[in-house]
Amino acid sequence: MNADPLPVLSPDIYKILFEKSPGSLLVKADKPDFTVLAASDAYLSIHGVTRPTVIGKGFFEAFPIPTGFDDDINAREVFKKVIETAQAVEVPAYRFDVFNADTREYEVRYWSSRNTPITDAGNNVAYILVTIADITREVKAKEAAEERENRLHLAAEATELATWDMNLLDHTLIYSPRLAEIFGHPPETRITLAEIRAQVNSEDMQNIVIKAYQEALKKGNYLYEVRIFLPDGSIRWIRTQGLTITDENKRPVRLLGTVLDITDSKRDEIRKNDFLAMASHELKTPLTSLKAYIQLLTKRLLPSTDSFVDNALLKANNQVNKMIALIHAILDLSKLESGKLQLKLKDFEINKLISDTIAEINVSNPGYVINFEPDEIIIDVNADKEKIGQVISNLLNNAMKYSDQGTRITVSSKKVKGNVRVSITDEGIGINHQDQAKLFQRFYRVENEKMQNISGFGIGLYLAREIIKRHKGKIWMESEEDKGATFYFSLPLPVQISLFAQ
């Protein structure tokens, strides 16, 4: 079956098609005039002219270039090239502002044009068909993106941040000149990833960088501080922070980030830390001897006939104990910050440690009832006895500090899936949900009117968390405001015990 023949279009229809097409112009290849033969409505309206005023005129007379633009030279070059090469010439982007009759102002507009040769029977270029397209939106979007990038770049430079982008597939690295500077090289130096890694302190590389890298692949971001060696042998501190970019299959493909030299603030921090360590150490010596004198006096004088003496000695002993605990906490904090907190692991029975700690605390706080309910009589653990004792006593002291005298405090211990879980429950002021997330942070204290008369430093829970973390255990809490709180910690049990437990 034959298809219907295509209808033959009359020259009038072709004329309409041309005149209604977006941005078209036909000029004769009669240089230097380039006589205008036809123009579409859109082309005419862009230039703010009517058809009779341009047809038959030379291109440069018909479309005079507004002052301030020198595109006529370009157009001449383009037309010349079309004739010489008999090939289409594209002008990817140029600016030509359009007069807006409503606002009576020129609007900034960008265009692209294609200039196609039309040849005669002798294969000479007889006409040029100019088609233009409005690309203002694309150009403006690109300008905005460039401006954003520039702003970012300036911000990074102003804050002395170095930026880097590592390809995880071929390990190539792109970075800003500041990175080379931070690593002690002239800014234009090209350094490889291997060279950068070789400058990182080897201990920090093992303990921090490799772990952070593995975490970044899993979690999607990373932040760490390490020491680096500069080529002149000096040591500096850097903080690097960033995120992982994944492909459509969620496979990590790039690591992006910033590097900041934090040597000055780190040195300040180290000095402060050293000061804390030294001051608390110096305070410990006179306190220990004060405690010894109080104990000697207690032995000599108690039981006495004077109840004031009995009471004063008991109170003095309690206060000295409080100060000693506080100084130990500050010492531990400084050791922790400088990475010097060492655990002395040994086997011991945790229920005995819990009851001893309760007994000790009961002496100085007779106003509270502390119940201990172990699930099993004996639970052996392998841990730092003194430090775990400190955690228990911290949690017990908090339970008392944040609840009224006479209320109940319940302690329990239980074996759960290869761990021992200890809990301390009070009936005190409790903690609202917003604060719960931040309680274990260093120096964090809840701020509300209930807390106004309760003193503290906000380091007890932070230390407890760090101690438990170093035992590969967990610490957490549950609470409802005004209804009390339960603090839990769990420690992994030695392997042979955990086998029996399951």
Name the residues that contact ligand ADP, by CB under 6 A: 398-399, 402, 426, 428-431, 439, 444-446, 451, 456-462, 485
C-alpha separations of 338 from 58, 269, 295 in Å: 83, 10, 34
CB of 426 to ligand ADP, least distance (A): 5
Would you call the peptide bond into 303 cis, given omega within 30 degrees of 0 as the criterion?
yes
Nearest to 351 by CA among 385, 400, 395, 398: 385
Q: Where are the beta strands (DSSP E) in 2-148?
A: 24-28, 36-39, 89-95, 98-100, 105-107, 110-119, 125-134
Nearer to ligand ADP, 39 or 467 (CB): 467
Residue nearest ligand ADP, CB atom distance? 456
Nearer to ligand ADP, 372 or 444 (CB): 444
CB of 424 to ligand ADP, least distance (A): 8
CB of 446 to ligand ADP, least distance (A): 3
Contact predicate 191/164, CB 8 Å: no
CA–chain centroid gap for 346, Å, is 39
Alpha helices in 133-189 (DSSP H): 136-158, 177-182
Nearer to ligand ADP, 29 or 446 (CB): 446
List, as own/partner pairs, every contact residues 354-359 make where C-beta atoms lie below 8 angstroms and the sequence separation is at least 24, other chains included. 354/392, 354/411, 354/413, 354/422, 356/389, 357/389, 357/392, 357/393, 357/396, 358/396, 358/411
Nearer to ligand ADP, 262 or 326 (CB): 326
CB of 448 to ligand ADP, least distance (A): 8
Nearer to ligand ADP, 238 or 463 (CB): 463
C-alpha separations of 328 from 223, 280, 475 in Å: 30, 8, 21
Nearer to ligand ADP, 278 or 454 (CB): 454
**DSSP code of residue 121:** T
CB of 492 to ligand ADP, least distance (A): 24
CB of 481 to ligand ADP, least distance (A): 9
CB of 400 to ligand ADP, least distance (A): 9
Q: How many CB atoms lie within 10 A of CB 419?
A: 19
Nearer to ligand ADP, 304 or 448 (CB): 448
